[in-house]
Amino acid sequence: MKMKQFNLLSLFLILITCFGQANSTIVSHDERAITIDGQRRILLSGSIHYPRSTSDMWPDLISKAKDGGLDAIETYVFWNAHEPSRRQYDFSGNLDLVRFIKTIQGAGLYSVLRIGPYVCAEWNYGGFPVWLHNMPNMKFRTINPGFMNEMQNFTTKIVNMMKEENLFASQGGPIILAQIENEYGNVISSYGAEGKAYIDWCANMANSLDIGVPWIMCQQPHAPQPMIETCNGFYCDQYKPSNPSSPKMWTENWTGWFKNWGGKHPYRTAEDLAYSVARFFQTGGTFQNYYMYHGGTNFGRVAGGPYITTSYDYDAPLDEYGNLNQPKWGHLKQLHTLLKSMEKPLTYGNISTVDLGNSVTATVYTTNEKSSCFIGNVNATADALVNFKGKDYNVPAWSVSVLPDCDKEAYNTARVNTQTSIITEDSCAEPEKLKWTWRPEFTTQKTILKGSGDLIAEGLVDQKDVTDDASDYLWYMTRVHLDKKDPIWSRNMSLRVHSNAHVLHAYVNGKYVGNQIVRDNKFDYRFEKKVNLVHGTNHLALLSVSVGLQNYGPFFESGPTGINGPVKLVGYKGEETIEKDISKHQWDYKIGLHGFNHKLFSIKSAGHRHLKWSTEKLPADRMLSWYKANFKAPLGKDPVIVDLNGLGKGEVWINGQSIGRYWPSFNSSDDGCTDECDYRGEYGSDKCAFMCGKPTQRWYHVPRSFLNENGHNTITLFEEMGGDPSMVKFKTVVTGTVCARAHEHNKVELSCNNRPISAVKFASFGNPSGKCGSFAAGTCQGAKDAAKVVAEECVGKLNCTMNVSSHKFGSTLDCGDSPKRLFVEIEC
């Protein structure tokens, strides 16, 4: 009997083992490419950060990424979100990493898991928990036993979670690559010999976890073996791995850029982004990841910086709300299709390059079965007419032509045939006018007059050392006794504060003195205001406000936050100036604000009788105030936004869930924008910027999952600076207008994003001109009425596809041999 049990158990284990091996995937690499089950692959990936969207959005985002031609989804893992307190973990809701990876797997895509656990990512403190900084003798990202122990603990936990769910490719899962550390090569020189020792330790630690797939280190020249180094940047065509046995990989192709409060809106053209991709593959690249493919939203207080906005749209191919960002999404999809059709030559073919002059080169990839070619023009100003293999090709400046068969141009990065979608706010879906209640911030007078706090210390302390980043707000409070004989006493006295607070508010004897807001990245400044002091005891209360902790740079964890001093009272007596340094006085510290501590934003707070809200005399421009209103969710399924124009600065909650900080009163500068954007030439974050002189962020994403679609909803505002809540409005985001400027011999697809096409405002085939919203017919047109043709094909439909040709739109004899185009503008 025992023998039979043993045999059955052995048979069961053998079957399990065999089944596991049959479903496992072998991922490796050689000098050309990542290999999957022995086959070299062209891999196209895109970054989607699971905490920057909601879990109900994940399937749609991943599906659109797959439809856009991606093979893999890349994400960071956010240590401070998952371990907010030491050994207290959170993987719930939109932090459910396992569910996110399984959603990727369910869509049939691979995953790239960038564990870090330093992530940068414009995320608060670069992803590090602040409690880590406050451990004894702590130094980040160097040979420090405390840091290394905590980093290994978290990394091991994530790896074990993935292993337990069989999510590594070696177990049959979707994860084909994992990353340890992040962009350390950018700062390693600052750490000296300990930096080299640390990165070696990282490699050994990661390798010991035995995940069965390769580890990568981005921006890490001469990465320790067996780590694979990779490139990050706007362009990586000139990048060459330090190790000749490593493939050429690009982990971050920056699809746009992030926004800072007070900054302009960044914009990277579809032409330039596609050019960077095509150049990378022309020059031997085989793995490329878009950072970001969907940027999303910095819910709550996760935005870093300092001064990173709540929107993390990034001008990515999928916008903040999950809509297709056209033409970027579609233009890249066409390129992806062609690159995948060329996979065999690009990964196995012999490579030869032909110099065609004037910064134009042709690259030929040849196997016994097929040849594929690129013609790249890196000249930023001059178009090129070149002869290649006996045929003439017109290659615009700063563009790449793709010839899958080395004969016919199938794609050029500068010739966009995809529609442009103009996203608008739909006021028709707006609910009734909001009826607000309000209340002042709890017992502010008690705080600023009596100085009652949570902690007493001699001298000034760093804000994050006190708060553990539990709040943006920290009160610094002290008392100063002055009499008539005090040397500083005069009729002209001021309060002078040397500060690193992102925003500083000052009170003296219960009266508001003023504030200072950091502008132009000058986070180390002097605040000075005239004050009225009295004989006897004077109460000073300084409210330090942080707007995201620093997330990048060497030793960034030790950068000062809050009020680092000195703090002085200054007396001016004619030409004489006398200072009284009170920095080393006894200071009381109060973490956060009473309304936050009493959770006035919670839907449960309404049941507390002592938390009274007033319906009378709704104040505008009142500092440190709370506002609340009920509303109905906008009808339909379109993304919801709330327009906070008219407010100052603060935080907003929907049904108790924070959708982030707001600051619509902070406008960008009036300079640096242009109506025209030339895609040619290298991109930088300031190039093609727009929205000068406007709020950096006016509209804020309200995920549908935060709403009760058929019931009661509550919006709660904490207003720090003073604003007018009566201007707040809920709207939906829709595609209002669609334009296309397609080239002859291509197909054009028009879609209103699940809304019917209602009318054709303009259509012309020939040589029309202008930009979307101001198209004009040219000197030649097709014989048929283009508007009528488009209307018959498209009006009333959700989408339509047409060939751009003389057969479809009539002959264009007046155009001669010049290229023809179809310009279309439709209403949704």
Residues in CB range of 437: below 8 A, 6 or more apart: 613, 614, 615, 627, 628, 629
| Token pair 């409210």 in the structure block, residue | 543
Helix (H, G, I), strand (E, B) or coil at 556: helix
Residues in CB range of 511: below 8 A, 6 or more apart: 532
In contact, 460 and 587? CB cutoff 8 Å = yes
Cα–Cα distance for residue pair 400/378, rounded to 1 Å: 8
β-pairing verdict for 576-581 and 567-573: antiparallel
| Token pair 């999950």 in the structure block, residue | 322
Cα–Cα distance for residue pair 733/313, rounded to 1 Å: 14
Residues in CB range of 823: below 8 A, 6 or more apart: 739, 740, 741, 762, 763, 764, 768, 770, 775
Question: What token pair was written down for 383?
Answer: 């178009």
Question: What token pair was written down for 54?
Answer: 């909601």
Residues in CB range of 588: below 8 A, 6 or more apart: 451, 452, 453, 455, 456, 475, 477, 478
Query: What is the enclosing helix (H) or strand (E) of 803?
Result: strand 799-804
- Catalytic residue check, 409: no
- Catalytic residue check, 252: yes
Cα–Cα distance for residue pair 215/433, rounded to 1 Å: 54
**Angle, helix 192-208 to helix 145-164, in steps of 10 degrees:** 20
Alpha carbon dihedral 601, 607, 610, 614, in 10-degree steps, equals 70
**Angle, helix 97-106 to helix 145-164, in steps of 10 degrees:** 40
Secondary structure string (H, E, C) spanning 710-771: CCCEEEEEEECCCCCHHHCEEEEEEEEEEEEEEECCEEEEEECCCCCCCEEEEEEEECCECC
Helix (H, G, I), strand (E, B) or coil at 476: strand
In contact, 467 and 461? CB cutoff 8 Å = no
**Angle, helix 97-106 to helix 58-67, in steps of 10 degrees:** 40
Which residue in the list 181, 183, 271, 744 is annotated as catalytic? 183
Q: What angle do CA 392, 394, 399 make, to 5 degrees?
A: 135
| Token pair 């991109």 in the structure block, residue | 683
**Angle, helix 270-282 to helix 328-341, in steps of 10 degrees:** 20
- For residue 425, with 0-12 CB atoms within 10 Å meaning exposed, 13-18 middle and 19 or more buried, which class applies? middle
Which residue in the list 252, 441, 557, 720 is annotated as catalytic? 252
Cite the DSSP H helix spans in 261-319: 270-282
- For residue 594, with 0-12 CB atoms within 10 Å meaning exposed, 13-18 middle and 19 or more buried, which class applies? middle
β-pairing verdict for 249-254 and 287-294: parallel
Q: How far is CA 794 from CA 77, 429, 752, 772, 828, in A?
A: 44, 25, 11, 18, 11
Cα–Cα distance for residue pair 46/65, rounded to 1 Å: 7
In contact, 768 and 775? CB cutoff 8 Å = yes
Query: What is the enclosing helix (H) or strand (E) of 412?
Result: strand 411-412
> Residue 146 carries which DSSP code?
H
Query: Is the backbone peptide bond immediately before 226 cis, with ω within 30 degrees of 0?
Result: yes
Cα–Cα distance for residue pair 80/97, rounded to 1 Å: 14
Would the CA dihedral through 516, 520, 521, 525 be positive or negative?
Answer: negative
Catalytic center residues: 183, 252
